[in-house]
């Protein structure tokens, strides 16, 4: 693996750093109000970030997961929720463009919307009953064939930036299918008749992602908005886990970096009464910071390497396991760094509006964000021992 960044990657990181500094000014307000950071999305839109990963020959930036990770690690340092929600666009657009299962017309439509019209696309696969505990994702949202397309009904959940994006890509079960693993990816514009949002995203962290619930009631989706339909969505998902899942890892890495930086700033500036030196001189503080620096560098290197493996090898078992390992290590590092940063910040740091307090809450989601840490360990264990997942017993008694 090459450890140096190219001048292009460094220039992108510099620009992301400038944008992050600007996002940071408004981050606490959006967090408190749980409001969409629309102006941040507009800036990213203007700056060409919607097409960051689209191949260059199609008019995009052509950046793959490694460079994407560097960019989103940096953006997240300013406003974690902006980076997490905005990443949903690449997370759902790129699998469609990369997959050889997707028809050329669907790819052309995506490129036209994103490169030609600068449209932002969210994604909603999750439902109230979704869990990765049992390894299956039965879909309750149904797409019933009607003349000219489908009528879609049911309830989705956790739809980041749903009211800010121009479209949401929804995963539904095609009612005329016989396979239990079938699915269809449907593009539904904001304001489509039969589409409504329940604003229930009043949560602990990543509040400004506004990952509200989506309800569809006989919502008509014309054939031209059916981007993909398959009898076995598992293969499609597995082959594109780099975008579907791994692209989020860098966001939580950015949260860890931000907490580490804020901690260092805090202990270097806070000088307790009666002492001639700031807290940074306390040996225990120095030791904590030293430990966190090791956690952080390990998390960064494992993330970059797993993204590099994905870019160079594709969805090989090794690259996929490296992705789980990276998510696990970043989840642990982010939890620890944000927790220790809050602890060393003391009671001064626990007020609403404190950056350490916000990063602690955002960082608390790192291990929960799919793929959750436990799921990563489950997958890594099977791979490391060379075990066939199909031969493993279900973790719980099936209904
Ligand atoms: C900030 C945020 C934004 C999101 N945005 C979107 C979005 O835009 N679109 C969208 O579709 N979804 C989104 N999601 C939803 C996400 O995909 C949900 O996490 C998903 O629906 C699963 O829900 P869950 O975490 O409650 O469930 P579970 O998968 O049941 O996980 C709960 C816990 O169970 C344990 N666990 C799970 N699987 C295993 C396993 N195999 N082995 C051992 N233990 C396991 C873990 O401890 C895990 O943390 C978002 C989630 C978050 C946190």
In the chain, domain spans = 7-120, 123-231, 245-391
CA of 222 to the centre of ligand 1 (A): 30
Reported as a single tens digit per residue, the pLDDT across 116-156 is 999 999 999 999 998 888 766 789 999 999 999 999 999 99
Q: Coil, helix or strand for 6?
A: coil
- Minimum CA distance residue for ligand 1 atom 42: 375
Asked whether 33 and 25 are in contact (CB, 8 A), the reply is no
Listed residue (312, 293, 338) closest to 77, CA to CA = 338
Q: Tell whether ligand 1 has an atom less than 6 A from the beta carbon of residue 124.
A: yes
Percent of the chain with pLDDT over 90: 94
Q: State how far the Cα of 263 lies from the Cα of 257, in Å rounded to an integer.
A: 10
Reported as a single tens digit per residue, the pLDDT across 319-365 is 999 999 999 999 999 999 999 999 999 999 999 999 999 999 999 99
Q: How many CA atoms lie within 13 A of 11 on its CB side?
A: 4
Q: Tell whether ligand 1 has an atom less than 6 A from the beta carbon of residue 369.
A: yes
CATH number of 7-120: 1.10.540.10
Reported as a single tens digit per residue, the pLDDT across 169-201 is 999 999 999 999 999 999 999 999 999 999 999
- Minimum CA distance residue for ligand 1 atom 25: 368
Question: Which whole number is the average pLDDT over 255-267?
Answer: 98
CA of 12 to the centre of ligand 1 (A): 31
Atom of ligand 1 nearest to the CA of 369: 53
CA of 223 to the centre of ligand 1 (A): 30
CA of 132 to the centre of ligand 1 (A): 7
The token duo for 110 is 């995506």
Local structure of residue 114 (DSSP, 8 states): I
Q: Which residues touch 173 (CB under 8 Å, ≥6 apart)? A: 139, 140, 141, 142, 143, 182, 183, 184
Same fold, 7-120 and 245-391: no
Q: Tell whether ligand 1 has an atom less than 6 A from the beta carbon of residue 306.
A: no
Reported as a single tens digit per residue, the pLDDT across 278-304 is 999 999 999 999 999 999 999 999 999
Superfamily of structural domain 123-231: Butyryl-CoA Dehydrogenase, subunit A, domain 2 (2.40.110.10)
pTM for this prediction:
0.97
Q: For the residues of 194-255, what is the DSSP string, one character each?
A: TEEEE-----SS-GGG--EEEEEEEEEEEGGGEEEEES-HHHHHHHTHHHHTGGGHHHHHHH
**b/e 295-306 (16+ beta carbons within 10 angstroms → b):** bbeebbebbbbb
When pLDDT is cut at 50, 70 and 90, the band that residue 5 belongs to is very high
Residue that the structure tokens 């994006």 belong to: 165
User: Cα 202 to chain center, whole Å?
Assistant: 19
CA of 274 to the centre of ligand 1 (A): 48
Q: Tell whether ligand 1 has an atom less than 6 A from the beta carbon of residue 200.
A: no
Residues forming beta bridges with residue 121, ordered by sequence position: 167
Superfamily of structural domain 245-391: Butyryl-CoA Dehydrogenase, subunit A, domain 3 (1.20.140.10)
pLDDT given for residue 135 in this prediction: 66
Q: Tell whether ligand 1 has an atom less than 6 A from the beta carbon of residue 125.
A: yes
């Amino acid at each position: 693996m090459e450890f140096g960044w190219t001048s292009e990657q460094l220039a992108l990181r510099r620009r992301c750093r400038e944008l992050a500094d600007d996002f940071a000014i408004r981050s606490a307000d959006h967090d408190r109000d749980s409001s969409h950071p629309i102006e941040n999305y507009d800036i990213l839109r203007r700056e060409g970030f919607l097409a960051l990963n689209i191949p260059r020959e199609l008019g995009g930036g052509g950046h793959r997961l490694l460079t994407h990770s560097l960019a989103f690690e940096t953006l997240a340092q300013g406003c974690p929720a902006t980076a997490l929600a905005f990443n949903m666009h690449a997370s759902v657009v790129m699998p469609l463009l990369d997959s050889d299962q997707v028809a050329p017309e669907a790819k052309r439509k995506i490129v036209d919307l994103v490169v030609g019209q600068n449209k932002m696309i969210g994604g909603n696969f999750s439902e109230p009953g979704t869990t990765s505990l049992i390894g299956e994702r039965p879909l309750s949202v149904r797409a019933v064939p009607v003349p000219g397309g489908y009528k879609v009904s049911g309830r989705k959940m956790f739809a980041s930036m749903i009211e800010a994006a121009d479209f949401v890509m929804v995963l539904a079960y095609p009612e005329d299918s016989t396979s239990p693993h079938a699915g269809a990816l449907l593009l539904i514009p904001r304001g489509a008749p039969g589409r409504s949002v329940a604003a229930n995203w009043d949560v602990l962290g990543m509040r400004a992602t506004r990952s509200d619930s989506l309800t569809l009631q006989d919502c008509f989706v014309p054939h031209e908005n059916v981007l993909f339909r398959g009898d076995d969505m598992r293969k499609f998902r597995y082959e594109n886990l780099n975008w579907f899942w791994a692209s989020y890892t860098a966001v939580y890495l950015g949260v860890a970096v931000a907490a580490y930086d804020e901690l260092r700033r805090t202990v270097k500036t806070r000088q307790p009464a009666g002492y001639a030196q700031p807290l940074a001189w306390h040996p225990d503080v120095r030791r904590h910071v030293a430990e966190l620096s090791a956690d952080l560098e390990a998390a960064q290197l494992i993330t970059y390497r797993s993204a590099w493996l994905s870019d160079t090898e594709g969805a090989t078992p090794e690259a996929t396991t490296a992705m789980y390992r990276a998510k696990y290590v970043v989840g642990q590092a982010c939890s620890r760094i944000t927790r220790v940063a809050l602890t060393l910040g003391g009671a001064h740091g626990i007020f609403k509006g404190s950056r350490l307090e916000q990063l602690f809450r955002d960082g608390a989601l790192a291990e929960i964000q799919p793929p959750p840490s436990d799921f990563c360990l489950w997958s890594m264990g099977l791979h490391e021992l060379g075990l066939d997942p199909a031969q493993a017993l279900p973790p719980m008694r099936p209904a």
